[in-house]
């Protein structure tokens, strides 16, 4: 074997080792990134569920019947009689 062939084989061996290390590195990076993606997707789904609950709670809190009930119970308010209503015209 000539010295040139030994050099070629050595360079080829280094290229194979470098390629193997690169594949290992990128596989590891891919798995980490995919793990982060799935965690963020789970968090996004949980936030969607919480947002839906918030909308339901908001609609329940702001309902007209609830507001009227709280006004009557806590502030002793009532609907005025027709004789108590005064119309203001300009």
Q: pLDDT tens-digit profile of 34-56? A: 999 999 999 999 999 999 999 99
Question: What whole-number percentage of the chain has pLDDT above 90?
Answer: 57
Structural domain for 54, as ranges: 3-79
Q: Is residue 61 part of a domain?
A: yes
Kindly state whether residue 86 falls inside one of the protein's structural domains. Answer: no
Residue with tokens 């609830």: 66
For the chain, what is the domain count? 1
Give how far the C-alpha of residue 12 lies from the chain's centroid of Cα atoms, to the nearest Å.
Answer: 48
pTM surpassing 0.75? no
pLDDT bucket at 31, cuts 50 / 70 / 90: very high
Q: Is residue 84 part of a domain?
A: no
- Calculate the alpha carbon distances from 88 to 32, 79, 80, 85 in Å: 70, 18, 16, 10
Give the three-state DSSP class for 63: coil
64 inside domain: yes
Mean pLDDT on 57-80:
86
- Residue 90 forms part of a structural domain: no
Q: Is residue 85 part of a domain?
A: no
Is residue 8 a part of any domain in this protein? yes
Q: Is residue 74 part of a domain?
A: yes
């Amino acid at each position: 074997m000539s010295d040139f062939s030994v050099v070629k084989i050595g360079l080829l061996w280094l290229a194979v080792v470098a390629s193997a290390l690169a594949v290992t590195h990128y596989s590891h990076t891919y798995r980490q990134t995919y793990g982060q993606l799935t965690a963020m997707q789970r968090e996004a789904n949980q936030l969607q569920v919480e947002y839906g609950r918030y909308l339901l709670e908001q609609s329940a809190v702001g309902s007209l019947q609830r507001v009227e009930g709280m006004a009557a119970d806590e502030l002793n308010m009532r609907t005025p009689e027709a004789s108590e209503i005064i119309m203001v015209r300009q």
